[in-house]
Every structure is written in C-alpha cells, then in structure tokens.
Amino acid sequence: MHIILVSNRLATAKSISLGKRHLLMGMVLLAASVLALSSSMFYLVFRHAIEIKLPMVQELLLSAQEQQARNAKEFMRENLNAMAVRVGQMQAQLVRLDALGERLSALAGIKPQEFRLNAPPGRGGALPSSMPAQDLSMVDLSGQLDALSKHMENRYDYLGILENRLFDARIKKKLMPTVKPVDVDWNASSFGWRIDPITGQNAMHEGIDFLVDTGTPIHAAAAGLVVVAKFHPQYGYMVDIDHGNDFITRYAHASKLLVKAGDLVQRGAVVAESGSTGRSTGPHVHFEVRYKGVAQNPNRFLKVSAAELKLK
C-alpha cells in the first residue's frame, strides 16, 4: 500500500509505503485502544452508577447483587445441610452412648440417674481480656465436629469393651457358689476335722451341715448343669451341680430330688427337699464346694454373698 502526502509547504509530494507488517501493527494498536477506552468507560459508568442513577445500569447492578446473594445463600444452605447430617450422626452416637451407659450402670449396680446421662454437664469460666474471643469459621466448625465425632466413636468402642468385661465378670459371679442352700443363719457342723457323730472317731468333714426340718427347699448356690441326681449309700439322695471353671457343689441327705442329670438350673433354683437319707443322724442339709475335685470350705464363698448384702 502506497500513501502519497501532498502539502503546500512541500515542494514535491512524498510517498509512504506500508506493508502487511505495518497494517497488522496498526490493527493491534487500534484494537488495544478500543479495548482500553471501553474498559475505562465501563469502570467509570459502574463506578458512578449510583450517582448517575441510570436505570439500565442500576438494573444490571441489582441483578448482579441478587445473583451473588443467591450463590452465597446456596453455598450456606449446602454447608448447613452437611452440618445437619453430621449433627444427626452425632445424635445417633449419643443415643448409642446413653443406651450403653444404662447397660453399664445396670451391670455395675449403679442407678442410671446418678450419671445424669441426659443432662448437659455444667461448664463455665471468665473470658480473659488479653485474649479476645474469636468466631469459628465454617472450616473450624467442621473440624470440631469431625474431632468430636471421632472422640465419641472411640469412647463407644472403649465402653463396649468395658461392657463385655463387666458382663463376663457378672456371669462368673453368677457361677460362683455364693448362695446359701437353705435360709438359715448358722450351721451345725463346720468344714474340717471333727468327731464323727456316728463312729466317734476324728474324721474330716468336707462340707457344712445346716439344721432344717424335713421338706425344706434346697436352693442351687449358683447357676450350672446338674451332673448327678441320685441316691448314694452315704450321702443319701444327693445332687451335684457343675458351675464351670472346675467348681462343683453338692447337696446331700435330701428326702426328695426335684431335678435330674442334664438339667440346667438358675442361681437360687430349688433342686431338692431336705431330709435325713443316707449316713445321717437327723434332718439336715450337707453342702459341699469342690474345686478340681478337692473339697473347699463353703463358708469362704457364702461370706462373699453376706458381705454384698451388707453393702446394699
């Protein structure tokens, strides 16, 4: 492209040649100028839109502000929904913890209301003036909820283990022969060496004798399995109950048996009626506790039950 410049001041005309490169640079400069001008106009218009009070510009501003408010509201709603789900999960965990606490208190023999499981704990304290309080952000609050949820889950696991141990201990306690076979306060013949009432010789007495009338109910000292229920030449009508853990109790000289071998009996269940069968001088109940086949002093076990009754 050739451009010829003609002027009164010039004696001759001048010619300028423009190539494609010059045209391209010119177009770029023109576009940049238009963009800069439009940006400046846009900034000035919206910067002073309130003062100018142009209806169209104000409508655009209001529309942008409403859209921004809707986006913020939607974002807040999504976060609140997520937090509501987390709170619901934590409420379910609290219900599980309350139920577990009630079971544990029952196993431990403590009233649930003593723990105040459903009441919030009392807390308080003054705010230090040197360290002003700060609002929690959404991220901080979410982190606190996550940490609390994990803490509650761990606490539930720990309490579950404790419940299993307490349950095992309670089962073992029920299997220990600590219930008196008859409801009397003293026994006529204790465990150990004594003068035999029939032969008059010094002999070992492997149990204790309770003086009762014939027909008195005889109770199982603990839960277990009846392994013997028959007549014995010396013990008369007798019952042996296996309580597990190598413990067996024996109830002898009964007048009537109310169980048979293979029966499962509960703690305190009536297994026989007292009498004077076998090698006996009168109505009474002979009670033995054996561990791994070796006779033990029954009073050691019965004293445990007496001590528990005093505590109650």
> pLDDT: is 29 or 51 the higher one?
29
Assess whether pLDDT exceeds 60 at residue 5: no
Q: What rounded mean pLDDT belongs to the chain? A: 78
Assess whether pLDDT exceeds 60 at residue 37: yes
* Structure confidence at residue 220 as a pLDDT band (50, 70, 90): very high
Taking residues 25-54, what's their average pLDDT? 70
> pLDDT: is 119 or 165 the higher one?
165
The DSSP secondary structure of 207-270, one letter per residue, reads: SEEE---TT-EEE-SS-EEEEEEEEETTTEEEEEEEEETTEEEEEEEEEEE---TT-EE-TT-E
Taking residues 13-22, what's their average pLDDT? 65
pTM of the complete model: 0.51
pLDDT at 272: 97
Distance CA 87, CA 89 (A): 5
* Structure confidence at residue 14 as a pLDDT band (50, 70, 90): low
Least confident of 42-51, 89-98, 187-196: 42-51
Distance CA 104, CA 295 (A): 35
> pLDDT: is 259 or 105 the higher one?
259
Taking residues 243-247, what's their average pLDDT? 89
- 272-296 confidence digits (pLDDT tens): 999 999 999 999 999 999 998 999 9
- 66-104 confidence digits (pLDDT tens): 888 888 778 777 776 777 677 777 777 777 777 777 777
Q: How many CA atoms lie less than 13 Å away from 218 in the CB half-sphere?
A: 34
